[in-house]
Structure 1
Amino acid sequence: MDSSTVATPSSPSRPRSRWAEQSGFDELGRPLRDVTFCVVDLETTGASAAQGSKITEIGAVKVRGGEVLGEFQTLVNPHEEIPAFITVLTGITTAMVARAPSIEEALPSFLEFAQGCVLVAHNAPFDVGFLQHFAREQARPWPAFEVVDTARLARRVITRDDAPNCKLSSLARVFGATTTPDHRALHDARATVDVLHGLFGRLGGLGVQTLEELQEFSSRVTPAQRRKRHLAEGLPHAPGVYLFVDDADRVLYVGTSRDLRTRVRSYFTSSETRSRMGEMIGIAERVRAVECATTLEARVRELRLIAEHKPRYNRRSRFPERTHFVKLTQEPWPRLSLVTKVLDDDAVYLGPFGSRKAAERCVEVLHETFPLRQCTGRLPRSPSRSACVLAELGRCLAPCDGSASELEYAAVVARVERALVADAAAVVDHVTTRMETYAAQERYEEAGVHRDRLAAFVRGVSRSQRLRSLTGCTELVAALREQSGRWAVHVVRHGRLAAAGVIPAGHDAHAYVASLRAAAETVRPAPGPVPAASAEESEAVLTWLEQPGVRLVDVDGEWALPVAGAARHLWLTDVGARAREAASPFADRRGLAPEARPAR
């Protein structure tokens, strides 16, 4: 497809959707069959326009009543090199956009095409946010578009039995889309049209027939939900944790809030829309509350209670013990090994990883960069075996047949340890070069494999270094002034929250902190990046500590990251993933954050 703007009338090759054949739109409001929708999709150089990412392609389809009225497509010249990650993802190269119009030319053409329509996008905040950003840059008035988000609608309609998630690719399969999403803007917009019509078909069976009903659908509340509003009575207006329990006192769901009473009441009002929550409320008989001194304490207690009770309606954090580590073993000829537990054996551990697949990708990228042995089992100090095929390929120093001396092998092990603990540049540079070579040869599938391996490695090493920096501190005391003007104080020991409190008005701050430390939980040190708490708890503590305004009261230990640590390479994973949804291995895989673009 060339770089010129294309706007075409409907084509007879595009079949009329079955949704268009439905009848009975007699409700007040604008019937969906009479609304003109402009389904838009963008390809970009990154995940955030505010951080400098640019648009590289715009694709849009105009539909009404199930009939395609026209299509719009244009490549966009970002006037900068397109990162190799994006070329792998989309197939759009810098050469392809060299003669394409700039966004200053493309945006007015798109806005003219979409005039008078309701905008539709899959994860609309991403696409619409980019368009609005560049409209502001051009001092161009943004039309008062109404917006429909197919990702948001799908989360209200699609069940786990239908699809494992609400990605565009998954929904396209569910609804039998005639176009397969492939990260090209017009193709993805066409697939979104079919998804939109498929969602309309399901929503029609739920009584949604007008645009107004469509916009309000997420605000529907069942009578069963309303009848249980009394469960919120008596709860405090304070931060803490709430637990929904059934008639057998089994914990169904655990949540946290800055205001317990207000949050629990929302489950019985229009602001609670998740179908599984409606089912949970139908079973719940009581709500228990645990009032907490600070929001961080509430978050940590929530994680601990979820891990303890494993409530059936909590989707995340239920199994913190299901983690994986990459271990650089301590033996005469060290190797990389996948383990689920950290031992006190002086070995170097990388992790935790939320999935074995992510850990395996990390091992693969290390083996590709460093010629460590890949055979399992221990080797004696003077082995006498035959070399494997990896030695013939130059991917292993082959200590098994005496090809490498202990000194030579130890030098490679030291480089691996440095990559895991201090400086990941050797791995990043090696894999990036390979990836760019594959991309230049248009071997995008192989480049994509290397992209995924590198992303897993950078995220894993960065997380491990951040956690190790905190868990290595015997004690850390920090304070933050809250909006009320009072100081929230936390005592953290080996990465575990040991005490939390708020200094009362007029109270001596030093005396309060001293008493809080004296009453804090005793935490014993243990090996590994997360010895005293779950990784998610330590990450929650880190997030609180790293926010602006936090003051360190006392630190027993050294809380610092390596100067050349993996954190400086995280931008590569942001570009490659087009989103931050996998930044934490413990995130809800089905969730679609409003500021991020889902993978397809």
Structure 2
Amino acid sequence: MTRIDLSAIETLPNTPAVFLVHTEGREPYLARTSQLRRRLLRLLGERAAPSRLLTLRALATGIEYTLVASTLESNLVFYETARRWFPESYIEYIRLRFPAYVKLVLSNEFPRAHVTTRPGGGRGRYFGPFRTRASAEQFLDGALDLFQVRRCQEDLTPSPDHPGCIYGEMNMCLRPCQQIVGPDEYASEVARLSDFLHTSGQSLLAATAAARDRMSAEMEFEAAARQHARYERIQEVLRARDDLASEVGVLNGVAVTASVDPAAVDLRFLLGGAWCEPIRFRTAPDPGEMIPLDRRLREAASAVKPPPVTQKERAEHLAILARWYYSTWREGEWLPFASLDKLPYRRLVKALSKTGDGRDVP
């Protein structure tokens, strides 16, 4: 067996990295570290005395490593490396926790909504990711108060003899279980809920504001006051929605993080809930190049293409996004956008300047 040359390790940078130690007859050892050289010397160096600390000196046959400059980059490199080397167990290996989503179940004749942690299974629309399951449930409860959609989770067999529930008695459900309404009328209410979720509440806010203004113009002030109270209630519900929560299939944004190249930043686009290949963007043009920053950004963004991913991979990508974005240790900037042609370039330039260690961006 070939031993690792410690003198070669001594030349490695002592910076954050994801590394893999190949071992003889065993699975490789994958880990992250904030000090690459120190960590490898501790794993592979000689010990002056017996120790309980892990040592791979007698087993190691080779090393692979990738330098990283941000926690997001570390998470993504760690994830991709684990997928490659541990295809059956990488989720457990990297301890990936799936965030909560609101699912609008469309496979039932009488659709309903509930909270789940696995988007993509069955017919439905998914909205998230939320910070916690509790915040997703709080938002869903508030949203359902605005619509007459059922909250029961059973597969309904409508009948006039169905016992119903308290929400039907309180006129907070159309009571399809008791055949008070049919599938078509119930579907129209579900469509309103779906539009509310898809537009982040703007569809209902606009309709309520229009009704309030019309009633006010017609001097029906009591009715206008009720609509205004409803408008404020909608705003209160929307304030409970976490920052990232939107329809999963159209969740777009770009993370601007530090790069291992001190003259650049990394742009990591998320399109349709899936991470694209990173772009290493130099904050200053090359010598002799006179291309404006805005134009260089537009050229870089125009080359971004949505990656082909499975539903499972999209759920994993969103879990990594949620872990980074909702963490207390998040660094870098996150800029959401509706589509690439609506990318907020002015805000992106500011993010480049802020992320680039305070360097002036031309």
1:255 aligns with 2:32: yes
Partners of 1:313 and 1:348 in 2: how far apart? 27
1:556 aligns with 2:343: no
Change (3 A) 1:385 1:251: farther
Change (3 A) 1:290 1:326: same
Deviations 1:54-85 (A, max 9, x none): xxxxxxxxxxxxxxxxxxxxxxxxxxxxxxxx
2:120 is matched with which residue? 342
Deviations 1:186-229 (A, max 9, x none): xxxxxxxxxxxxxxxxxxxxxxxxxxxxxxxxxxxxxxxxxx98
1:501 is matched with which residue? 280
Deviations 1:563-584 (A, max 9, x none): xxxxxxxxxxxxxxxxxxxxxx
2:196 is matched with which residue? 418
Partners of 1:393 and 1:229 in 2: how far apart? 75
2:77 is matched with which residue? 301
2:110 is matched with which residue? 333
Partners of 1:509 and 1:250 in 2: how far apart? 50
Gaps of 5+ in 1: 1-227, 270-276, 427-456, 561-600
Q: TM-score, normalised by structure 1?
A: 0.35
Deviation at 1:422, TM superposition (A): 1.3
Partners of 1:558 and 1:360 in 2: how far apart? 31
Deviation at 1:335, TM superposition (A): 0.5
1:464 is matched with which residue? 245
Which amino acid letter does the alignment assign opposite residue 389 of structure 1? C
| 1:31-180 superposed matches below 5 A | none
1:374 is matched with which residue? 151
Change (3 A) 1:389 1:344: closer
2:227 is matched with which residue? none
1:535 is matched with which residue? 319
Partners of 1:517 and 1:416 in 2: how far apart? 30
Deviation at 1:337, TM superposition (A): 3.7
Change (3 A) 1:559 1:284: farther
Which amino acid letter does the alignment assign opposite residue 103 of structure 2? K
Q: TM-score, normalised by structure 2?
A: 0.52
Which amino acid letter does the alignment assign opposite residue 150 of structure 2? R
Which amino acid letter does the alignment assign opposite residue 291 of structure 1? T
Deviation at 1:500, TM superposition (A): 3.4
Partners of 1:391 and 1:544 in 2: how far apart? 44
2:218 is matched with which residue? none
Q: What SS is found at the alignment partner of 1:462?
A: coil
Q: What SS is found at the alignment partner of 1:397?
A: coil
Which amino acid letter does the alignment assign opposite residue 319 of structure 2? A
Task: Among all aligned residue pairs of Structure 1 and Structure 2, give the percentage whose two residues are the same amino acid.
Answer: 15
1:585 is matched with which residue? none
Deviation at 1:546, TM superposition (A): 1.7
2:66 is matched with which residue? 291
| 1:196-595 superposed matches below 5 A | 232-236=9-13, 240-244=17-21, 246-257=23-34, 260-262=36-38, 264=40, 279-281=53-55, 285-286=59-60, 288-292=63-67, 295=70, 296-306=72-82, 309=85, 317-319=94-96, 325-330=101-106, 332-339=109-116, 340-342=118-120, 345=123, 347-352=124-129, 371-376=148-153, 379=156, 386-391=162-167, 393-394=169-170, 396-404=173-181, 407=185, 410-411=188-189, 414-415=192-193, 418=196, 421-423=199-201, 461-465=242-246, 471-472=251-252, 486-490=263-267, 492-494=269-271, 495-501=274-280, 503=282, 506=287, 508=289, 523-524=307-308, 530=314, 533-537=317-321, 540=324, 546=333, 556-558=340-342
Change (3 A) 1:360 1:284: farther
Change (3 A) 1:316 1:344: same
Change (3 A) 1:556 1:409: closer
Deviation at 1:235, TM superposition (A): 3.1
Deviation at 1:397, TM superposition (A): 3.1
Q: What SS is found at the alignment partner of 1:336?
A: strand
Which amino acid letter does the alignment assign opposite residue 399 of structure 1? P
Contact 1:491/1:520, CA 8 A, preserved across alignment: no
Deviations 1:19-75 (A, max 9, x none): xxxxxxxxxxxxxxxxxxxxxxxxxxxxxxxxxxxxxxxxxxxxxxxxxxxxxxxxx
Change (3 A) 1:294 1:284: farther
